[in-house]
Amino acid sequence: MQWLNYRALGMLIALAVICGVMTVLTSWRNDWGPPTFVSDVNLRNVLLQCSITTVAAAGMTLVIIGGGIDLSVGSVLALCTVALAVVARALPGAPGIGAGVAGCLIAGAAFGLLNGLLIVRTGAPPFIVTLGTLLVGRGLAYVLADGQTIHAQGVTAGASAPPLLITVGVVAACHLFLSLTPTGRYVYATGGSEEAARLSGVPIGRVRLLTYVASGLCAALGAVIYWLRMAAGNPLAQDGLELYAIAAVIVGGTSLSGGQGDILGTVIGALIMGVLANGLGLLTVPDYWQKVIIGTVIVLAVAGDRLRRRRAP
């Protein structure tokens, strides 16, 4: 725990440094006028723009701490946006949206359950199972949407409060679950040493199942955010989300081999990537270079952390 705090502090400092650099650079770009980066509008934009990654990464954190991995989140999210849009289209008005959100959450949880059951019951590696369901989910999204973006009728999207509330809610729920509940502690135990956990009576199968359902639900909530932002269901949505979510989790200090990590680190990890993407965008750094820079930061963050831990007594 001591180490965790020390590490979280390090990541926070890294985030603060990146924010500082962006503030200076955006001020410089305005001929040393007010920095665009710290304007109200932009700070809200940063949070909005990394809300989907954060929500997916929160679910991913549970899965990874529990010793698994979920590559299907981007596809599940796309499938859920389509499910929401299809239901909302069939039932016009507010009930349609309510039913759509319900359908979206059910689809996400069901897909998570499917992932979990396949992994727990067959003992197949999570990497392979979720790689398969990644394709299945994306394919089903295309099928359900008939290959097209489904637009919501007569819905005004774009308000920033609901996506942010969902994000904060998911983060808080996952954090409280991991740090306060016995089941949360079982997740750490299962990921740390499955054998030891089993011997001490942890229902590891059910715990792992739960983490995948949580991840599916988080993807579904990400789909709700997508829908709130774009007013559409899109089978192409968030292709590659899984990689950014995993990156946020790892940059945030959760170990890929399971058993350790926390949600707050993941939030910092997602913010670091979100701030970089937003700031580089404000500076109109070409997209190709944005990828180079963000990728470099991910590698440096993880490598730096490994080296420091190796040197630590």
Nearest distance from residue 169's CB to another protein, in Å? Answer: 20
Nearest distance from residue 24's CB to another protein, in Å? Answer: 16
Q: DSSP labels for 26-81?
A: HHHHTTSSS-STTSHHHHHHHHHHTHHHHHHHHHHHHHHHTT---TTHHHHHHHHH
Find out whether 240 and 291 touch, Cβ atoms under 8 Å: no
Nearest distance from residue 181's CB to another protein, in Å? Answer: 26
What is the residue type of 129?
V
Give strand pairing partners of 58: none
CB atoms within 10 A of CB 309: 12
Q: DSSP labels for 179-197?
A: HHSHHHHHHHHHHH-HHHH
Pairwise CA distance, residues 184 & 176, whole Å: 8
Q: Which is nearer to another protein, 131 or 173 (CB)?
A: 131
List contacts with another protein (CB under 8 A): 36, 39, 41-42, 45, 48-49, 52, 69, 125, 127, 147-149, 151, 153-154, 156-158, 226, 229-232, 234, 236-240, 243-244, 246-247, 250, 256-258, 277-278, 281-282, 284, 286-288, 291-292, 294-296, 298-299, 302
What is the residue type of 37?
F
Nearest distance from residue 63's CB to another protein, in Å? Answer: 12
Nearest distance from residue 301's CB to another protein, in Å? Answer: 12
Nearest distance from residue 260's CB to another protein, in Å? Answer: 13
Closest listed residue to residue 276, CA positions, set 287, 266, 265: 287
